[in-house]
Amino acid sequence: MIAFEELLAVAYKKERLQSRRLARGASISEHAALVRTLQKAAGEQSLQDLIDARRAGQDRHADALRARETRRAERVDEAKRHRHRVETEGWRGWFDGSALPNPGRLGIGGVLVGPLGATVEISAAMGTGDSSAAEYLALIALLEAALREGAADIVMYGDSRVVIDDMNAPQNAGIRSLAHHAARARALIARIGDVRLQWVPRARNVRADELSRAALESTGAAAEAA
């Protein structure tokens, strides 16, 4: 007789429950009850054929799981390698725009860091408008700086979901009032190459925020002096 443990290994949960009920009702061992249950499930094929078929299915399922885990591990490793390349080989940038009041005077800030640590900072007044325009102008100024520096493989971080989502939207599906800014940014990205935009919370965009506010303070001071 086939070992009880071998039968348990291939029996479905429903079959194990049925065999336990059969054992109690017919006053037979659970082993014998499970044999009867699986023989019924086997139908015209033999019990051994049923066991062999289910083992093969379990092996295929286990192989598929292992392959899936291998692919997942490879993706994780590739993501880690990519982050390492960005940190040690690629360029990184942060941008921020401010309006005071909103709408009002605009100030932009940006930081571009090269793979060897060289840093370019941007702080400039940009006329008047609203905060979304300021954010876009900051992104554009940072892209222009990247183009001047010959940067490639850049990750640019901003805390404006409006701009990040607008840039990631399909072309001609973004915010109409910002379309001219988006077009300018996309044209610059096309000239640079690999540029990825990523949202970060304001707490991780401190220096760009400081630079944008410094630009506002300088224009405010100049206005007061005039």
Specify the pLDDT at position 221. 52
Specify the pLDDT at position 159. 97
Specify the pLDDT at position 152. 84
Residue ranges per domain, the chain? Answer: 4-85, 89-225
Asked if 93 contacts 111 with a C-beta cutoff of 8 angstroms, the reply is yes
Per-residue pLDDT for 10 more than 50?
yes
d(CA 112, CA 182): 20
Q: Across residues 32-37, what is the average pLDDT?
A: 94
Using CA atoms, how far residue 2 sits from 24, 26, 37, 41, in Å, is 21, 20, 13, 16
Specify the pLDDT at position 87. 52
Residue percentage of the chain with pLDDT more than 70: 92
54-90 pLDDT tens trace: 999 999 999 999 999 999 999 888 877 766 555 556 8
Per-residue pLDDT for 14 more than 80?
yes
Specify the pLDDT at position 171. 77
How many other C-beta atoms are found inside a 10 Å radius of the C-beta of residue 32? 15
Residues across the chain: 226
How many other C-beta atoms are found inside a 10 Å radius of the C-beta of residue 151? 24
Asked if 112 contacts 155 with a C-beta cutoff of 8 angstroms, the reply is no
145-156 pLDDT tens trace: 999 999 988 999
Q: Which two structure tokens, joined as six digits, stand for 84?
A: 């390492």
Q: Across residues 189-201, what is the average pLDDT?
A: 94
CATH 3.30.70.380 fits 89-225, yes or no: no
DSSP states of 144-168 as a string? HHHHHHT--SEEEEES-HHHHHHHH
Specify the pLDDT at position 79. 74
Average pLDDT over all residues of the chain: 91
Q: Which of 169-178, 204-213, 215-224 has the lowest mean pLDDT?
A: 215-224
d(CA 201, CA 217): 23
Specify the pLDDT at position 60. 94
Specify the pLDDT at position 226. 44
SS3 content of the chain, % helix, strand, coil (to 5): 65, 20, 20
Q: Residue 220 — very low, low, confident or very high, per pLDDT cuts 50/70/90?
A: low
Instruction: Give the burial class of 136: count Cβ atoms within 10 A of its Cβ; 0-12 exposed, 13-18 middle, 19 or more buried.
Output: buried
Specify the pLDDT at position 77. 84
Q: Across residues 3-22, what is the average pLDDT?
A: 93
CA angle 129, 132, 137 (to 5 degrees): 75
**Bridge partners of 121?**
111
Per-residue pLDDT for 222 more than 70?
no
Specify the pLDDT at position 219. 67
Q: Across residues 118-137, what is the average pLDDT?
A: 96
